[in-house]
């Protein structure tokens, strides 16, 4: 079993014990992780006042934690971002969603909305998010 599969199992167990069993706690844990990362060792990748630049750095940040898969960030003319994740990482969707939302908030984004699109846990080939 890949190490990330163990992480998924740990997140599910923590949610059952400390959360409501609906995995919502995973989003909160993702937010906590972003605060720890972007106000700590990866603070240089947090671009204060520029949430788009911070989102643009997501592939770099993710590469520090994952040695396989790919992270893509594409921006539309309206400033919305489409983020896609591939690799052996199913099950961490809400954690990633929370991480992205908190990174945007830390960079000064207000009323950012992060919506999950495709999901490997629901049979998709990738996990994707729309950020507005």
127 Rama sector, left if φ>0, alpha if ψ -120 to 50, beta otherwise: beta
Global pTM reads 0.86
pLDDT digits (tens, 9 = 90+) for 14-62: 989 998 988 889 889 999 999 999 999 989 989 999 998 999 998 988 8
Interior/surface letters 24-53, b for 16+ CB within 10 angstroms, e for the rest: ebbbbbbbebbeebbeeebeebbbeeebbe
Q: How far is CA 40 from the centre of its chain?
A: 17
- C-alpha–C-alpha distance, residues 12 and 79, integer Å: 34
As a whole number of Å, the end-to-end CA separation of the chain is 35
Q: What are the extents of the domains in the chain?
A: 3-131
pLDDT digits (tens, 9 = 90+) for 77-124: 888 899 998 865 556 788 889 999 999 999 999 888 999 888 887 788
CATH number among 3.90.1520.10, 2.60.260.20, 3.30.1360.70, 3.90.1150.10, domain 3-131: 3.90.1520.10
């Amino acid at each position: 079993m890949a190490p990330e599969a163990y992480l998924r199992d740990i997140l599910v167990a923590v949610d059952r014990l400390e959360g409501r069993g609906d995995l919502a706690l995973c989003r909160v844990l993702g937010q906590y992780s972003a605060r720890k990362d972007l106000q700590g060792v990866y603070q240089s990748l947090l671009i204060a006042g520029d949430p788009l630049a911070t989102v643009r750095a997501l592939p770099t940040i993710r590469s520090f934690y994952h040695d396989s898969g790919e992270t893509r960030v594409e921006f539309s003319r309206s400033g919305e971002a489409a983020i896609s994740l591939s690799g052996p990482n199913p099950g961490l969707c809400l954690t990633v969603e929370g991480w992205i939302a908190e990174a945007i908030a830390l960079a000064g984004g207000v009323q950012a909305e992060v919506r999950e699109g495709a999901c490997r846990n629901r049979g998709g080939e990738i996990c994707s998010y729309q950020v507005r």
